[in-house]
Structure formats: C-alpha cells, structure tokens
A and B are shown apart, each in its own frame.
Chain A
Amino acid sequence: MRATVNGEPVELPDGLTVSMLLQHLGVRAERVAVERNGEVVKQARHGEQRLTSGDVLEIVTFVGGG
C-alpha cells in the first residue's frame, strides 16, 4: 500500500501496525513519536493501530535547538 512517511511517498506491506512500520523502517532510536494523519499515536497503541492506504505519517525525535 502507498503511504507518506516524513514527507516521502513509500510503498509498504499491507496491514502493518505502527510498531511493525517502525521495525520495517529500521527505526532504532530509543525515543520517537509518531503522528498519523495529524493525530499523535501514543506509544501504548503502536502495537494495535493498523495503517491504511494513503496514511500520512510523521516520525519525529528530539534534536538540538534553541
């Protein structure tokens, strides 16, 4: 299925949960937050929220800033 991750169009296997998406993308950073279609997906729900075609996802972390 098609989705957008951090502004880039990507092709993903069907039926992924948010946890599986992070695994699929090789995300290892210990602290990330995920937004799906404008709404934060709480970490406790990463294992149950399933993505659907056309989802717009943002995966963010803390970086240096003032």
Chain B
Amino acid sequence: MDELVLGGHRFTSRLVVGTGKYKDFPTMNAALQASGAGMVTVAVRRLDLKARGEASLLHWIPKDMVLLPNTAGCFTAEDAIRTCRLARELQLGGENPLVKLEVLSDAKTLLPDVEETLEAARQLVAEGFRVLPYTNDDPVAAKKLEDAGCAAVMPLGAPIGSGLGLRNPYSLQMILEQAKVPVIVDAGVGTASDCALCMELGVSGLLVNTAISGASDPVAMARAMKLATEAGRLAYLAGRIPRKLYGSASSPLAGVIGAA
C-alpha cells in the first residue's frame, strides 16, 4: 500500500486541500469529497461576536478528514506560536497536534519569512507540536527546518494563490534529494498538470486551495487534482524513461518490406 505517513497519521491520498475562499459551504463540502483528500487545512480567526448562530465550518468538513490548522496571516514568530496554541485548544488539547506553520514576510508577495518561520518551528517542536512549515524553495532553509525537528517541509511552487505552477523544479529536486522527512509542495499549483509534474518529481504530497476553490467548477477541479496527483505518483513509482535528443524507433527496424 502506497501511503503518505505524516505527523503520526497515515493517508492513502497525497493531496491536502484548503477550505478557504469557497462561495458557500455546500460547494466546499462537495469539492472536499471529490478531492479524496485525507487532510484539510483550516485557519484560526477571531470569532465574529455580532454574527450569532452562523453555520460552523466544521459541520461541512467530512468527519473522517484530519484537520490541519494553519497560522496564515501571521507575520511574526510570536503571533504564529500563539495561533498554534489556540489551535491546539480548539482541538481540545490533543496530543502532539499537527499545525501548518506559515509566517509571511509581506501581504503583497505572501512569500515566507524563513527566519521567523525557523524561530517559531523550534519553539513549537519544543512544545510538542508536529510542525509542517510552509517555506521557500530553498534547500538550505528546508534543511534547517528539518534539523529543527519539523515533521515535513512544505516548499512553495510559486506564491500563494498565484497559480503559476512549479517555477523552480531544480531547487525542488535538491530539496528532495536531501530530505529525510516528507516534502509537500504548498502553494502555486494552478491546474491539474502542475500536480502531476510535482508528483512525478517525487514529492510526497501537495497542498492545494485556491486552484480548486477559485476554479469555475471547483468540484470538477477537485476531482481533476485527485486524478493528476494519483497519475503523477504512479508515474514517479513506475520510473520514467530518460530524455534523449534523437528519436528511438518503437517498431523493429529489420524486416521492413521492399528492403534489399
């Protein structure tokens, strides 16, 4: 069985999906189911004290999906650490909770602040969290996060929500060669072929939100991502042929009619 083992959980799907930016909860629910994901990200935000009795997000997340709280929107290690502690409390203080650590540098690029991320990762690991950090496609940063005790490293393919796909496959290959923890491409996926490409390079999994929730038909795109992730994984395991400059005939060259 080809499983993704991540932070103490075993997943048959290698796709992790977000729950942000859906037009409504029923669409989100249908897309989550169509994606086949075993884990979904959620954000931690101030409760709207004026909106009473509103439908809760959690009612619309299938019960068998593992929740991965994120620290999205945090720009300092301190805020990210506080957010993780609140997330643990929201999950009723479970043992070694999983968190997606995300500390951003600025609101325009949404690129990770690796220095703050590393500082937060060290503290959170010491507090018993299983930390999945969003990071740059930088092999040095990935190694430092792994050495800090993170349960995975999650380099970006491109900026969050940009849909630009995998911009630097060579950096990703370096990260993959050295990593002893799962490598998950987080951010940048635009369409299904991006999923397949990343998986073919050998990443352990993918985290996708905007490319699904922002598609014209999010449920169909969720299914496309599921299939592409599976196809890419299979192709990686199958072992692709090397690239060659010249042609190589598929049919025998001998026995062609009319030959002398």
Contacts and interface: CB of A to CB of B under 8 A. Distances in A.
Nearest to B86: A33
A46 to B, nearest CB: 11
A5 interface: yes
B210 interface: yes
A38 to B, nearest CB: 7
Interface in B54-81: 54, 56-58, 67, 69-70, 72
Interface in B5-45: 18-22, 28, 41-45
Contacts of B90: 31-33, 60-62
B46 interface: yes
A38 B82 contact: yes
Contacts of A25: 49
A35 B82 contact: yes
A59 B90 CA distance: 11
Contacts of B85: 35, 40
Contacts of B69: 62
A27 interface: yes
Interface residues of B, number: 38
A58 B86 contact: yes
Contacts of A43: 89, 92
Nearest to A25: B49
A33 B89 contact: yes
A66 B47 contact: no
B47 A61 contact: yes
B2 to A, nearest CB: 25
B92 A7 contact: no
A42 B47 contact: no
Interface in A41-66: 42-43, 58-66
B49 A66 contact: no
Interface in B161-194: 161
A60 B18 CA distance: 19
Contact of B28 (A6, A38, A64): A64
A62 B57 contact: yes
B21 A64 contact: yes
A43 B69 CA distance: 18
Contact of A66 (B46, B52, B56, B72): B72
A51 B56 CA distance: 27
A40 B86 contact: yes
A49 to B, nearest CB: 13
B47 A27 contact: yes
Interface of B: 18-22, 28, 41-47, 49, 52-54, 56-58, 67, 69-70, 72, 82, 85-90, 92-93, 160-161, 207, 209-210
